[in-house]
Each structure stands twice: as C-alpha cells, then as structure tokens.
Structure 1
Amino acid sequence: MKKVIYKFSAVVLMGSLLFSSCTKDFTEINTDPNGTPTALPEQLMAPALVGTLGYNMLRNRNFNNELMQVTVDASDAEGKVFRYDYRATWADYLYNGLYSELTNFKDMYKVANQQLTFNKSYKGISVICQSWIYSILTDTYGDIPYSQSNEARDSAIYEPAFDAQKDIYMDIFDKLDSANTWLSAGTAISANSDPVYGGAVANWRKFGNSLYLRLLLRVSGKPEMTEFCKARIKKVVETYPIMASNAESAILRWTGVGPLSSPYIGVREQDFRAPGIASYFIDNLSSWNDPRIDIPTYGTSSINRWGIAPYSGSYQGIPSGYAPGENPVKKCYFYSNTSAVSLMTEPMTGMMMNYAELKFILAECAIRGWITGSAETYYNDGAQNSITLWLPNWTVPIKDFLTAADIEWDEKLSFDDKMERIHKQKYYALFLTDMQQWFEYRRTGHPILPKGAGLKNGGVMPARMTYPVYVQSTNPTNYKLAVARQGADQISTQVWWQKP
C-alpha cells in the first residue's frame, strides 16, 4: 500500500469524530468539508460512496485476499496475514475510514429529512449505506460504537458506548424495513449524484432488501435468532423487491474520470503485482476451465478477464500458509500494467453486492427449507451470473459447464456437501466484495480451505480484527466494558454470531 494511504489514516486518527477527548477547535478540526450539514444530499452521496469503496477495496486486497487464499504476499517476515498473523496496527485503517464516511451518510440523512430538502429516497439510500457500513464494521470487530457513534459534533459524545452485536443487527433490520418503505414511493433523485445506479431508486430498494437477506442469513445460526431470521427471510423473499439480474447488482463502476478513479490506481504497479495468486484460488478455476481465466474468450489480449498473468502458458499458484523457509516461487499474479487488462483499471472492482451472491443466499435458504423454490435452480443461476457478470457474452449452457467441471448440483449430497458446493461457487462470486469471503467462511466453515504448516493462531481462521490501540486510551471505560462482554481483544475471540 502506498505511504500516502498510511499518512491519510494517521490524519483520520488524529481527527476522529468518535474518540477525540480534546474539545478545543473541535468543530473546525473534526468536520469533513464534504460532510457538512449545509451540503445537499446529492452533494454528499457520491463522495461518501467513493470513499467507502476505497477503504473496502484496499482491505479486500491486502487483508481478505490473504486470509482467504486469493493471494499470498510471500515472505518469511513476522506479521504475514496469509499465516493468520497480523499486528494490531492493521485495525486502524478500516475502522477510522468507515466511521469517517458514516458521518457523511448521517449528514445526508439529516439534510434529506429537513422540511426544505425532504426526500424519502435519499433518506432510504442513506440508511441502506449506513447499514452496509455498520455491518462490515461489526462483522470485523464485533461490538462497536453504533447508537452513539459519530455524535461528537452534534451531541458532544466523545466516548461512545459500544453496542452489543445482537442489538446492532436488530436495529439494522428495523432500519432496512424503513428504507424499503421510503424507497417504495419512488421519489426522484439526481442521476449525477448516484455513481452506483444512476438515479434508479427502484434498484436501490432492491439492493437494500438483498442486503437484508445477506445479514439475516449471517446471524441465523444463533439459536435465539433462527426462527426470527427464517420468518424475516420468507417475508423479504415473498413480499419485497430484490435484485433480479446482473444489471441490478450494486457496483460502483469506475470511469477513470476525476473522483471516479479506482483506488487501485493509487497502488504502485510493482506492489500490485507483488503478491502471488494462491493455489486454492487458481487451481479450482483452472480445473474447471473457468472462462474468467480463459485467454481465448477475451479478445486478442494475452491476459484473461481478471487480469491474471499465466506462468509459462499455465496457471500455477503459491500454497497459502506455507512454513517459513519453504520459499515457494511466485508464478501467477494479478497483472498491473494499467494500459492493458488489469484489475487496477477494471471498472467493476467497486463491488458492494452482486446478483450471483443473492442467488447463492437463496440456494442456502432453500436447502434449509426456509423458502420455496429449487436449490438447484438458485445454484445454477448463481454460477451462471457469477460468470456472465464478467463475461456477458458467454453462452455455454450452465449445466453443461458445471457437469464438465464435476461441480453440478446433486440432490443426493449431504447437507454439508451441498453447503460446500454452494459456498465454493459463492467464494468466487464474492471476489472483490470487501471482506464477505472471510465473514462467510467464519459463519459456515465453507469452502474448505487447505491449511499450511506455517499457520499461526493455532491454525484457526482469525475471528476478528482487534480494536485500534488508541481506543484503549481515548475511550477506556467503554472499551473495557466491550471486552468484558465480548471477550479478550484478540483475533481468536469470536464475535456474537460465531459463538455456539
């Protein structure tokens, strides 16, 4: 990551709206010029979306991808994420960044709710985006400031309480219900303010309800939540509009013009291509003859759709979690020439939630018996749309592709084997989507990842990031209460929805 990113993180740290105990010149120091209450909702929306995607994408690249065996930043140094070993300093960047963008979305809501600027659609979109961000924060850290967060400027709350994760989720569900109602009115918004859907309010409503399903499924494994989640999932699927095609996926498509330039452009080319592709990620795609890494189907370029550079005409990865001293040779990597096919300039890397993910959510709900419909159909639709999102002209019948790859649906499989089949495909559908691969693995244990001899943390997938170190000194009372309720501030402490 470029040094400028770390410098920016330090600036955010010094000016945190959440935890600063110094009140001198607070308004001047801690007010985002893009997020002031005098700005209109249409002025706040695009910068907040761009900023949020920037934080998500960079942590997806160097944290999620390393844990989830997409890449391996090969080294024998201490603190390598691919070995389940990371320092407390990893926590600051995402925590500071996402809370700073919440200020903008909260201001967007406040202004949209005022009499002179009242707009139900901007209110609903703001609530959806806040729910999206808070879900990432709580799934990353566990209990977090929620009901009192971002209140330093307006309410002088400099040491916010940490809400229990269950309470956060329950409030998010209520807010997503409200957003669905507000957006049902179809109140127009400015197309120029919306880099995700170009002003299509109906698509925001569908995204909000699809996100609702993601989050209901996330906590459905808790015994006290199962019946509640089953009922809500059934209600959303049967009565709320949800995504119906790839075109309705929530993706901020980078244009490369002005502020809509991918955050990956800020990564040095040599740093972008430094991590090798992990064996798990590339071996599956290669064995399936997956078209997303099939060179001939992508014009005359020598690089495939995902910008993975082949090695001597084939795809070979690095085993993740290898022991120090083994020193495997990096072979395949993500191409970094910005003048060619590369994720550095790819428009679709601004991934929030795609249609294929929704289909795999429905497939899991179907095998659990929570909704009607065919799990096989949902699974096939998910696999097909996962591919055609990237290759819209791909026309191979999905059943033929899945059968040839020996990953077709089989109703005779055990429940666990069906979960493995669904989640192996979902893993690829979640490629580039913040840290959803990591969250889903922690929830389900799928897909089954190989374990190298060099793994730390007892060989167990880390359950969370620790809280930023500065929180212990700037919000000590509430920090201690959170740790006493949740457990030790360690990467091995499970968050509420993970605990049996």
Structure 2
Amino acid sequence: MKNKFIKIFCIAIVSAMTVASCDKGFEEMNTNPNALTDPAINSMFTLAEIYVDGQDFSNTRGNNIYAAQIVQHFSALTGAGSKYAYSSEYSGALFGESYGKGLNQIFQLMSVLPDTPESSNMRQACRIMKVFLFQKLTDTYGDIPYFEAGQGYNGNVFAPKYDTQEAIYNDLLKELDEAGDALDAGKPFAGNADLYYQSDVARWKKLANSLMLRVAMRLSKVNEPKAKEYVEKAFAKGVFTSNDDSLVLEHEAGPPGVKTNPITSAWVRNDLNGGDSNIKFSKTYIDLLQSTNDPRLRIYAKIESTGDNSPASQQGLANDAKEFPGGDKKLFSDPNTSTVLRYDAPTLILSYAEVQFILAEAAVKNWNVGGTAQQYYDNGVKAAMDILTIFGDKVPAVSATEYNTYITTYPFKSAGTESEKIEQIITQKWILLLFNGFEAFSEYRRTGFPVLVPVNDPLGQTNGTIPRRLIYDQSELLTNPDNYKEAIQRQGLDLMTTRIWWDK
C-alpha cells in the first residue's frame, strides 16, 4: 500500500485542537472561533481528515453497538443493535459527534482558509470530506441540518433548519462533481499534512469520483435515472483502479487519542480481556464465511482466550441469544487482535473493492460502466481479499490459489436473475464492510441484502422488524426544538421504524 501514515507530532495536534471543539452539538459548531492571528492551517487539515472516520464515541456506540449489530456483523446479549432496543446516548452518538467534531473542524478550517488560488486544493478537499460526514449522517437519521450547518461562523445561524434528504443528496453529488473538477495539480496543497494521499491531486480526484459512485448508487430505488447519470459520470471521470488507490488511514498504537484507531482502541482497551468481551462476532457472519470456506475468516476472527484463529474453531453468537450457549463467552469468536483489532489497525474508509462491487451492480443494471458484472465482481472479491494485507503479516495473507479456489467454487451467477446477481454482489460488500457498520446498514436498507433473520426481543422497539434508521440526538429537543419538530412532521415520527427518503 502507498498510503503510509505520516507521524503526527503532538504539537501539531495540540495546535489544531486549540481551534477545534471536542464537544458535541450545534452550539459548539456554530460558535465563532476565537480570534486567530496565525491559524495552524495544515494541522487543522490533518485533524479534519482524522475526524472524517469519527472518534471512539460515535464508533463504539453508533457503529459497534448499533449499526454493526443491526446488520449482524456482531452480536451482544443485551446489545441495543442486536435487540433493536433504544439508547438515547448510543443512538445520538453519531449526530452529536459529527456536528461537534468532524464538521465543526472542517467548517472552522474553511472559515480561516484564504480565498486564494493557493488554498483552492485544500478547500476542495474539505468539500469532499464534508460529503463523507454528511452522507453518513443523513443515511443514519434522514433529514438533518445541512445548508445552514456551520453558518454560525459567518451567518449567526445557531439553530439550523433540517433539510430534506432529497435536497441534501442533490447537493452532495454537486459538491463532489465540482470539487473533483476544481482540484488542480498545478496549485499548492497540504504537503505531508495530507494523511490520505500526501497531496497527490490525481488520487484525490479518484477519491471524489469513487465517493460519487457510493452516493449515486444510494439513489437506485428512489431516483434511478439520477443514480445512473452520476454513476456513469463518476466512472467516465475516473475512479479507483487498484488497491493502492483505496483510502486507508493508518493509526498509532498509543497513547489513546486522535491518533489511535477509533474502533479498535476502545474495544481492546475497555472491553476485550482474554476473550471476556460482551460483543462477539455474529453467528450470521461466522456461519457464512465457514460455509463457503472463506479464507478471510482466519484474518478476521480469533478465539481470543486461546489464540485459535483456525476457521473451523470459530463460533458466532446469535443476535437473538439470551445467554452464551454453554455459559462461557470465551468460547466465542472475537475480532482478531493480531490483525483487524490491533491497537494500530488501519481504517479502510473507502476501498477499490467497494468501487468494483458498485460497478458490478451498475453493470447488472446495464448502465454504461465499461466492463461486465462478472469482471467487476471477480475483481472486487480479489481486491477485498488482497486488501487485508494492510493488517500486517502475523496471519498469512489470502493466496492466489485460495482466491482461485473460492471464485471457482462460488462463481458469479451470470445466468441468474437480476435480484440473484445483486444479492451476491451486496453479500460480498457486506463481508468487506466489517467495521463499517454504518455503510453496511445503509446498503442493507437499500437492497434488502444479505437476507437477515430479524430479532423479536422484549427490549426491542420495532415489533420484530429490522430498524430503518436511528433516532436523533435528543439534545435537539432542547437546543433546536422548532426545526426538530418540523423535520419529524415532514419525515415521520422519530422512531427506528420510520423509513428515510431513499429507503423504498
């Protein structure tokens, strides 16, 4: 991989954080920053990139406990996601942290960037990073504050209105289209302060176009002509062409803070103690990989108490379980602490494999994306296996022979129905999106795949149906009540069962 982590000196992070709020909520994001005579632009940019993937608060609560359990990557006996129960703290975590940290950081940075050609590339990169955060937010909750978000810096808007998801999606596509075109290799960028691509403009352009694929495909059921238009446009402009283009953010092992992995650091530090974690791999996930002899299983999973990562030994916990069968949680599979759950495990934010699966789905729909669905599917599966080398060599990588055996034994269903083909594509995407529960949750709602058996638990809030969204941060009832009420009147009650605009 070419994405090598640029070591972040503490002084750079501290200087950036002096102008970035660490609290959540609009009151922080919409407060004018203190007068800055010499803002640390590059350090602010570095911190914005780190915040794009969230921190421990939203990833532990919104991702690990909610989204990843809803889609049955993981399971817990009393997990809010496994049982579709409601926790205001967990459900609102992404909302509060995204506005209070990630978007706050980006809006502050854009407020101090001079409007000059020399700052143009950094400004376009900020627009692209905003799309990552806003798409995750609107996909999780539905209508959200968008156009007025951040206007406390120059517009004195401290209670931003909620915008419709349709309007938000239209603007997300516009932002990516314009920002990608405006990136210019002949202008300065951020040097090594850019952790993503070390200021390689060509790769940033591919990132903008590849993210456009993800955004556009989300509209496939609610506005297929627009989805097709922008998928084809993104492909024509140029998307990821190998794993070297994948957006991988490297991390450090410690001390705990912004430099550590926002998922694994909290999990290992607080919960995982010789296999004593309450969150385990879901039986759904383990059973699928075992039944297909998937070579990735040894890299993903391990019985932490014994160190056994052999695929045959892995055991997942059913999402409807009331107790650990046999009474010993240490007999169940944990994420592998030698690979994907290392303290310094990298984060796979957007991958070449995901791009290939999106193009495979587009080809199934006969959209103009060059290759065939089988070509893109095969490429995606191979890339998804090969990318696991980013997690180190303590477990053997998937070999070419193993890939060939897998793809030969379970080939793409070229003669199948459109639904069968898409199910196969999305199931592979679901495997790939381990640790990105938010994206897997969105793709499940969009497609209905993979087929999951719902949980009907007395703690649940959905009468035994899989949730369609998370409930807003309830602080909005105090800080932004009029706009919150207007949003739920338009969208529907603030419940897990209320469908958002593109979820048809």
Structure 1 CA distance for aligned equivalents of residues 384 and 203 of structure 2: 19
Q: Which amino acid aligns with 2:290?
A: S
Identity %: 26
* CA displacement at 1:234 relative to structure 2: 1.4
| Separation of aligned partners in 2, 1:478 and 1:362 | 38
Residues in 1 aligned to 2:208 and 2:308: alpha-carbon distance in whole angstroms:
36
The corresponding residue for 1:241 is 238
Deviation at 1:451, TM superposition (A): 3.1
Kept after mapping to 1: 8 A contact 2:24/2:99: no
> Which one of the candidate residues 23, 28, 34 is aligned to 1:17?
28
- The one-letter amino acid paired with 1:388 is D
TM-score (norm 1): 0.84
Shift of 1:424: 0.9
Match of 1:352, SS state, is strand
Q: CA deviation at 1:377?
A: 0.6
Q: Equivalents in 2 of 1:217, 1:37: separation in Å? A: 43
Pick aligned residue for 1:429 from 417, 428, 432: 432
Aligned partner of 2:348 in structure 1 is 351
Q: Judging changes above 3 Å, is the alpha-carbon distance between structure 1 residues 256 and 127 closer, same or farther for their aligned structure 2 residues?
A: same
Q: Is the contact made by 1:275 and 1:333 (CA closer than 8 Å) also made in structure 2?
A: no
CA distance in 2 between partners of 1:439 and 1:253 (Å): 25
Q: Is the 8 A contact 2:144 2:162 kept in 1?
A: yes
Q: Which shows bigger deviation, 188-197 or 430-439?
A: 188-197
Would the aligned equivalents of 2:143 and 2:487 in 1 still touch at CA under 8 Å? yes
Which residue of the other structure, out of 291, 294, 300, is the alignment partner of 1:290? 294
Q: Is the 8 A contact 2:296 2:398 kept in 1?
A: no
How do 1:85-484 and structure 2 match up within 5 A?
85-100=85-100, 101-115=102-116, 118-222=118-222, 225-238=223-236, 240-256=237-253, 259-263=258-262, 264-267=264-267, 269=269, 271-272=271-272, 273-294=277-298, 310=309, 314-322=313-321, 330=329, 331-334=331-334, 340-341=338-339, 343-348=341-346, 350-371=347-368, 372-391=370-389, 394-396=399-401, 398-404=403-409, 407-433=410-436, 435-454=438-457, 456=460, 457-484=462-489
One-letter amino acid of the structure 1 residue matched with residue 133 of structure 2:
I
Structure 1 residues 419-428 or 466-475, which shifts more? 466-475
CA deviation string 1:275-329 (max 9, x = no partner): 121111111222222222237xx9xxx9599x98548961111111236898875
| Local SS of the residue matching 1:396 | helix
Residue 355 of structure 1 aligns with an amino acid whose one-letter code is: Y
Question: Which residue identity does 1:156 align to in structure 2?
Answer: N
Provide the rounded CA distance (Å) in 1 between the counterparts of 2:22 and 2:108: 21
Q: Secondary structure at the match of 1:189?
A: coil
Looking at structure 1, the residues matched to 439 and 340 of structure 2 have their Cα atoms a distance apart, in angstroms, of 22
CA shift for structure 1 position 453? 4.8
How far apart are the structure 1 equivalents of 2:88 and 2:265?
A: 27
* Larger mean Cα displacement after TM superposition, 166-175 or 314-323: 314-323
**Aligned partners of 1:325 and 1:186: how far apart in 2?**
59
User: How far is 1:51 from its partner?
Assistant: 2.7
**CA, structure 1 residues 131+327, in 2 after alignment: closer, same or farther (shift >3 Å)?**
farther
Tell me, in whole angstroms, the C-alpha distance in 2 between the residues paired with 1:40 and 1:429: 36
State the alpha-carbon separation in 2 of the partners of residues 188 and 396 from structure 1.
45
Cα–Cα, structure 1 residues 357 and 32, in superposed 2: closer, same or farther, change >3 Å?
A: farther
Residues 148 and 161 in structure 1, CA contact (< 8 A), matched pair in contact too:
yes
Deviation track 1:424-469 (CA, whole Å, cap 9, x = no partner) reads: 1110111122510000001110011133453831222211111111
- Cα pair 1:309 1:335 within 8 Å, conserved: no
Distance of aligned partners of 1:441 and 1:122 in 2 relative to their CA distance in 1, 3 Å threshold = same
Whole-Å separation in 1 of the counterparts to 2:224 and 2:271 = 44
Kindly indicate whether the alpha-carbon contact (under 8 Å) linking 1:184 and 1:205 is maintained by their aligned counterparts in 2. Answer: no
The alpha carbon displacement at 1:267 in A equals 4.0
The code of the aligned residue for 1:319 comes to A
Report what 1:3 is aligned to: none
Residues 336, 221 of structure 1: CA spacing in aligned structure 2 closer, same or farther, 3 A cutoff? closer
Conserved 8 A contact 2:268-2:343: no
Contact 1:323 1:454 in 2 (8 A): no
Contact 2:303 2:314 in 1 (8 A): no
Q: Which runs of 5+ in 1 are unaligned?
A: 1-9, 20-25
**Aligned residue in 2 for 1:4:** none
Q: Distance in 2 between matches of 1:278 and 1:236?
A: 35
**Using the alignment, how far apart are the partners of 1:142 and 1:361 within structure 2?**
22
1:80 positional shift: 2.7
Equivalent pair of 2:113/2:123 in contact (CA under 8 Å): yes
Amino acid at match of 1:286: Q
Distance verdict in 2 for CA 1:316–1:156, change over 3 Å: same
For residues 353 and 308 of structure 2, what CA distance do their matches in structure 1 show?
A: 25
Query: Counterparts of 1:278 and 1:87 in 2: how far apart (Å)?
Result: 21
Secondary structure of 1:378 counterpart: helix
Residue 395 of structure 1: CA displacement? 1.8
Q: Which is worse superposed, 326-335 or 259-268?
A: 326-335
Equivalents in 1 of 2:176, 2:63: separation in Å? 25
User: In 2, distance between residues paired with 1:38 and 1:313?
Assistant: 58
Contact 1:37 1:111 in 2 (8 A): no
- The DSSP-based 3-state class of the residue aligned with 2:240 is coil
Report if aligned partners of 2:218, 2:446 keep a CA contact under 8 Å in 1: yes
Unaligned runs of 5+ in 2: 1-20, 390-396
Structure 2 CA distance for partners of 1:370 and 1:334, relative to 1, 3 Å: same
Q: What displacement does 1:410 show?
A: 1.9
The structural deviation recorded for 1:274 is 2.8
CA 1:328–1:186: 2 relative to 1, 3 Å: farther
Question: Contact between 1:121 and 1:183, CA under 8 Å: does it hold in 2?
Answer: yes
Whether the 8 Å contact between 2:302 and 2:334 is mirrored in structure 1 is no
Asked whether the 8 Å contact 1:399–1:408 carries over to 2, the reply is no
